Structures are given as C-alpha cells and as structure tokens.
Amino acid sequence: MKPVRKAVFPVGGMGTRFLPATKSMPKEMLPVVDKPLIQYAVEEARAAGIEEIIFVTGRGKTAIENHFDHSYELEDMLARKNKTEILDELMDLLPNEGSISYTRQQEALGLGHAIYCAKNIVGNEPFAILLADDLVRAKRPCLRQMLDIYEQKGGNIVAIEEVPKEKTSSYGILDVASQNGNVIEVQGLVEKPAPEDAPSNFSIIGRYILQPEVFTFLEKKKIGAGGEIQLTDAMAEMLGTIPFHGLLFEGERFDCGDKTGFILANLAFAMERGDMRDGIKEFLQTNKDLF
C-alpha cells in the first residue's frame, strides 16, 4: 500500500455566493477569526503528514500564492518592532522548497475537472483532496482520522456526515453496503439525489483519499449533475474494483461556502480564543433582542 504524500486543493471557484466581498479576493482567503480558510485546510493536511501541496487555481487567485510566500517588507517591519510571535507564525506558513505546486483550471467545468487538472503533478500514487469551504473543527485533524482508516483498509476513503433527508439534493450521497462503528463500506454513490431517491442520508464532505485510477475515469470528461464533470461520478465507476469506505469523522464541519455556515464557523472558533470569548459572551447576553 503506497503512502499518501500529496494533497490537492481545488481553489479555482469564483465564490459568487460571497459577492461583492469576493470580487477581488479569493473566497478561500475569507478569514475565520484571523486566518483564511485555505490556511486552515493546509494546516490540517500538514498535521496529517502530507508532504506536497497542490493548488488547482484559476484567474484572480494570486493572493493564495502570495499568502504562502515571503512578504519581505512585512517581515522586516515585524522584526524591527520586535513582534516575534506573529513573525514566527508567518514564517511557519512557508512551505519547504519544492513542496508546493500550482496548476491552472482554465475553465470552471466542475470539481472532477479541477482534480483532473492535477493529474500530471499527482502522478501514479494515492492522494488526498481537501475543499477549503469545508472547515472541520476537531481534536484530531479530519484527514489524520481518514489516514488511520486508509492504513487499515486501503483503497478510497471519504469523510461523511449525516444530513437531514430533505437536504440530500445538495450532496453526494452514499449507498451503504455495511456499517461497522464509524466506518461504512460503500456500494454506490449518487450525486445530489432527490430526497425520495436518496439511498441514505450519509453525505460526502470535502475530504477524500483517492487512488490514481480515478484519473482514468475523469479523463472521459463525462458530464454529470449540474452540467459539470462530477468527481462523485468518477468515484462511482471505481466501485467493485477498489475498496471504498466512508468515515463518520469525529468533529464538527462548517460549510463556509454558505454565509450562515461561515458566520457560525467564526463564532465557534472565536469562542475557543481566550482573548475573545468574554467579549462575545457579553455581546450575546446584552443583545438578546437580536435573537
């Protein structure tokens, strides 16, 4: 079983749900408290042992590249003002030489197409996918939990959670063969089924570990739900040839592609901060008329 060394981050989306904020700023750079979404995702990957980061970008995404690079004037200013703590934090952001790559998705043809754009960099080895929109608050990184299962089971692994039956049309949904604790053996996948057609209410979130065979199916560029090339469709074609499991991860997922989910993520992460908790609690207690 080959180890998972690489992680792909599809960051080419336009972020239209957050306009006008995302007119000139990538949605992945929206901050939760004081860190952009993409930084949380990269930190999760690094904490899980990922060695190589691959960004699939689009037009207007240079801020992401700049975020993971030196800012010499800023670093010099912080050093002169003896702000060593924040300077050290910024320096920790920097990747090792040659460990970060960028490739361009020239057309927005869906998640499956974005992953296909990373084919030549991923090569013939298993890899992880992290969607920065899905921010996971967990004691152990979600991807690390998945890798623990991968090391036992091999094959493809997706992180999953239960959603209300009426919301299955917004997610990729699993058809369950069997369940053992928090691990589910998958026998089918359906992209955004109507509630009456959904085989379960187990939905895939933005965390995947996939075998390189997925590229064989993605290169067919089959059009699926929403008129896009769906990653779920390519994974479904791998069923029966490669072990496939879903993990009910431990933690809480915030859909930061949704305005409500984004605000809730800010609140949850802020309440974990000793320098912010009391101020937020006081605001909530004295403004009960807002609720």
Structure tokens at 128: 């992880």
11 touches 28 (CB < 8 A): yes
Rounded to 10 degrees, what is the CA torsion of 241, 226, 177, 239? 0
> What gap in Å lies between CA 248 and CA 67, rounded to an integer?
32
Length of the chain (residues): 291
Is residue 224 scored above 80 in pLDDT? no
Letter string b/e over residues 164-187, b meaning 16 or more CB atoms within 10 A of that residue's CB: eeeebeebbbbbbeeeeeebbebe
- pLDDT tens digit string along 80-94? 999 999 999 999 989
More confident residue, 285 or 1: 285
What is the CATH number assigned to the segment(s) 6-290?
Answer: 3.90.550.10
pLDDT on residue 259: 94
Using pLDDT thresholds of 50, 70 and 90, give the confidence band for residue 109: confident
- Side chain identity at residue 277, one-letter code: R
Q: Is 35 helix (H, G, I), strand (E, B) or coil?
A: strand
Model confidence at 222: pLDDT above 90? no
Contact of 253 with 151, CB cutoff 8 Å: no
What is the tens place of the pLDDT at every residue in 225-266?
Answer: 777 788 988 998 999 899 999 999 999 999 999 999 999 999
For residue range 130-189, what is the model confidence (pLDDT) as tens digits? 999 999 999 999 999 999 999 999 999 999 999 999 989 888 899 999 999 999 999 998
Q: What are the residue ranges spanned by the domains of the chain?
A: 6-290
d(CA 83, CA 34): 16
Question: Number of H helices and number of E strands within the chain?
Answer: 11, 13
